[in-house]
Amino acid sequence: MSMVLTNSTRLESILDKYRDRDEEWWKARARGKRAISEGDMHLILDLHNKLRGQVHPPASNMEYMVWDSELERSAEHWAHTCRWEHGPSHMLTQIGQNLGAHWGRDRPPTYHVQAWYDEVRYYSYPYSQECNPHCPFRCSGPVCTHYTQLVWATSNRIGCAINVCYNMNVWGMIWAKAVYLVCNYSPPGNWWGHAPYKYGAPCSACPASYAGGCRDNLCYKDGGVDRRPAPELEETNYIEPEPDPVRDREPQPRAQTPNPSPNENLERNQVVSTEQMSQQVNCETKLRDQCKGTTCNRYECPPGCLDGPGKVVGTGYYDMQSSVCGAGIHSGVIDNDGGWLDVTRLGRKQQFNKSYKNGIQSIGKNRSANSFKVETVPVKAVTCDTTVALFCPFKKPVRHCPRLYCPRNCMRDSRIRVIGTNYYSDKSSICRAAVHAGVIQNESGGYLDVMPVDRRRQYSGSYQNGITSESLLNPTGGKAFRVFAVI
């Protein structure tokens, strides 16, 4: 079987047919709407090229991937069908395609890209001596074809789209609100009997059209055009990484910390913390009953509260006797699927207005009472060296910090400081402190909640989960924080 390569002219002719079949979709595109945000597009594209450049065994002909707006449009059309299958069928011989979907907690689109690549653990690369004449396909796991498409050497163009699908059927299960990612590739990969790339020194077998150009182990055209759409200002519900913070260049005094013993190095003194800052409540829980002597700023509501008996008093701001989850639905912060919300106490209000919103009738009240408001829990991605001092310092009155998403492998840079145990100095790396506390794992990263607190007189160093934290006595200035699991 020979490799079939599709040129862009052929692909555009296919997409022209698509436009004729769905004129409304094409008009929507002409108005300038995007199937994916500029930030998400860069995250997906950059991670593809990073992963393609680090394959093992190394690739001699791996081509640098660029964004293709035509592929993005075809991906958008398929994403809007909300069908958990590859398609449309008449295009599958002309494009490659990877699909990903999730529901529940927010995840960046790179979550799925990394999951596709991680199938490499099941894949055995076929060396040339094994290809006689066809290369064997050896996959010891459920699937490897997402990985092989991602690293198919000649697939040098990509376009993706993201869509929220309601009541999506995923392998026989109905997902009430699924986030659906479709990525289309050209030329397509996964041709039977072929290896995904040629083994050899990076860039040693690039096509002649690259004129010897090489970038990050990828065949690269120095004068080529990186076909990315113009920047946009439209926001999405996906998290964007924080820019690298500017570090204080003045030398910081470091207290001596205990060195781990060889046995501790081997075992890494593993600690796991499942303590959560957010409180799980039921549909009837009143804020008045939940806030007595406890942290009461973040809650997790179950699904089905639209039909629950909890009463809601007020509009915009609510009486403390209101159901927390009912107020969240009434205000539009969560829906009947449940979810997380932030609560801020507002003090006494003289009057509470009734209204009907989002399927809930709230009650009016003309007597003075303590009140609260509900807000969406914001989510932010941070880098390994982001600190609370720069990101969300302790202030009075206490404010909410966003829920954070840490990347994996933050243990690599041991120069990034962690000061304390359980309570950490706000000059510590948030993500490394979370690994140290056992809130997230270094190998996977993940979500966590941060609670800034006032300054501590002493921070105790310790060795946990492969990280040695520092001790610090009577620090001058600065505040502290705690980290909590998100489960």
> Tell me: the pLDDT tens digits for 77-122?
999 999 999 999 888 889 999 999 988 666 788 999 999 999 999 9
Look over the chain and give the mean of its residue pLDDT values, rounded to a whole number: 80
Distance, CA of 452 to CA of 480 (rounded, Å): 6
Vertex 288: Cα angle to 284 and 292 (nearest 5): 120
Adjacent-strand bridge partners of 360: 357
- The strands making up 298-301's β-sheet, listed across from edge to edge, are 279-280, 298-301, 339-349, 369-376, 317-319, 314-315
How many CB atoms sit inside 10 A of residue 215's CB?
15
Residue 458, C-beta contacts closer than 8 angstroms, at least 6 positions apart = 471, 472, 473, 474
Crossing angle (nearest 10°) for helices 23-30 and 69-79: 130
Tell whether the model's pLDDT for residue 381 goes beyond 60: yes
Q: Which of helix, strand or coil describes residue 20?
A: helix
Q: Write out pLDDT tens, residues 316-344.
A: 999 999 999 999 999 999 888 888 888 88
Do 294 and 279 touch, CB atoms closer than 8 A? yes
Position 338 scores a pLDDT of 84
Residue with the bigger pLDDT between 270 and 435: it is 435
Give, rounded to a whole angstrom, the gap between the first and last alpha carbons of the chain.
48
Is 140 exposed, middle or buried (CB count within 10 Å of its CB: 0-12, 13-18, 19+)? exposed
Assign residue 438 a region: left if phi > 0, alpha if psi is -120 to 50, beta otherwise? left
CA 113 from chain centre, in angstroms, equals: 10
Residue with the bigger pLDDT between 381 and 249: it is 381
Q: Which of 107-111, 211-215, 293-297 has the highest mean pLDDT?
A: 211-215
- What Å distances lie between residue 485 and 275, 341, 343, 415, 450, CA to CA? 6, 16, 19, 24, 9
Distance, CA of 233 to CA of 228 (rounded, Å): 15
Averaged over 198-202, what is the pLDDT? 93
Tell whether the model's pLDDT for residue 5 goes beyond 50: no
Per residue, what are the HEC states of 357-406? ECCEECECECCCEEEEEEEECCEEECCCCCEHHHHCCCCCCCCCCCEEEE
255 pLDDT tier (thresholds 50, 70, 90) = very low
Tell whether the model's pLDDT for residue 266 goes beyond 80: no
How many CB atoms sit inside 10 A of residue 230's CB?
7
Do 401 and 386 touch, CB atoms closer than 8 A? no
Distance, CA of 80 to CA of 420 (rounded, Å): 49
Tell whether the model's pLDDT for residue 251 goes beyond 90: no
Residue with the bigger pLDDT between 226 and 139: it is 139
DSSP assignment of 178-220 equals EEEEEEEEES----TT--SS-BSSTTTT--GGGTT-EETTEE-
How many CB atoms sit inside 10 A of residue 262's CB?
7
Position 56 scores a pLDDT of 93
Do 311 and 321 touch, CB atoms closer than 8 A? yes
Do 36 and 72 touch, CB atoms closer than 8 A? yes
Tell whether the model's pLDDT for residue 300 goes beyond 60: yes
Position 34 scores a pLDDT of 61
How many CB atoms sit inside 10 A of residue 111's CB?
16
